[in-house]
Chains A and B, each alone.
Chain A
Amino acid sequence: DIQMTQSPSSLSASVGDRVTITCRASQNIGSALNWYQQKSGKAPHLLIYGASNVESGVPSRFSGSGSGADFTLTISSLQPEDFATYYCQQSNSFPRTFGPGTKVDIK
């Protein structure tokens, strides 16, 4: 099974800050990496697929990069509605596996 790790596990940031979250796979997964946002008590929401493709309707301040085993989610200017937990997920093979999540809260 492919193991996914994320760093940091949590961070505190202010509105307007640039935020970067890192995800690492235990093996080369090419660009088979998705990112989700989950707000408290709600279902997850797809942000990025294929490592760098922004899902329709997602604000342009969200971007993804990386390939192989190392990936990054960037929020260029944090907005109040972005405070949430972010998960990466590998789509290279079954079983699908998620990272443990990164919680972004208000500084």
Chain B
Amino acid sequence: ELQLVESGGGLVQPGGSLRLACEASGFPLSSYWMSWVRQAPGKGLEWVASIKQDGSETDHVDSVKGRFTISRDNAKNSLHLQMKSLRAEDTAVYYCVRGSLGLIGADLWGQGTLVAVSS
């Protein structure tokens, strides 16, 4: 079964760090661009970051540049998002997504993991 399962979310204080993980099953992660998309409570969707199949290219939304880093471990079929200097406005459900949200869209999404930044 094709599946993406996120983990690592939780409550963190402003200025803190968190590392999200996404485990892929049913397909080889190494064949796909992968992305993170987030959704603040009651709000719309926001693309956060994408990474090429071999990790040679990455891109991040301006609001997280210098604070968040997307990475991958194809040998372990896993995707990561390292988050530092967290702010209240980073509070959201973070979705792991197959693809770069490119011309064929994002056809597989995880169930999401909640990150809450609060003192």
* Residues of A participating in the B interface, judged by any CB pair closer than 8 Å: 32, 34, 36, 38, 43-46, 48-50, 55, 87, 89, 91, 94-101
Number of A-B contacts (CB under 8 A): 62
Q: Top 6 nearest A-B pairs by Cβ distance?
A: A49-B105, A96-B47, A43-B109, A34-B105, A96-B101, A98-B45
Instruction: Decide if A98 touches B47 in the complex (CB within 8 Å).
Output: yes
A95 touching B107 in the complex, CB below 8 Å, given contacts A34-B101, A43-B112: no
Q: How far is the CB of A50 from chain B (nearest CB, A)?
A: 6
A98 touching B62 in the complex, CB below 8 Å, given contacts A46-B105, A91-B102: no
Q: How far is the CB of A25 from chain B (nearest CB, A)?
A: 14
Chain B residues lying within 8 Å of A45, measured Cβ to Cβ, are 109
Q: List 25 A-B contacts (CB under 8 A).
A: A32-B103, A36-B45, A43-B95, A43-B112, A44-B106, A44-B109, A45-B109, A46-B105, A49-B104, A50-B104, A50-B105, A87-B45, A89-B47, A89-B105, A91-B100, A91-B102, A94-B50, A94-B59, A96-B47, A96-B50, A98-B44, A98-B45, A98-B46, A98-B47, A99-B44
Q: How far is the CB of B58 from chain A (nearest CB, A)?
A: 10
* Residues of B participating in the A interface, judged by any CB pair closer than 8 Å: 35, 37, 44-47, 50, 59, 61-62, 95, 100-107, 109-112
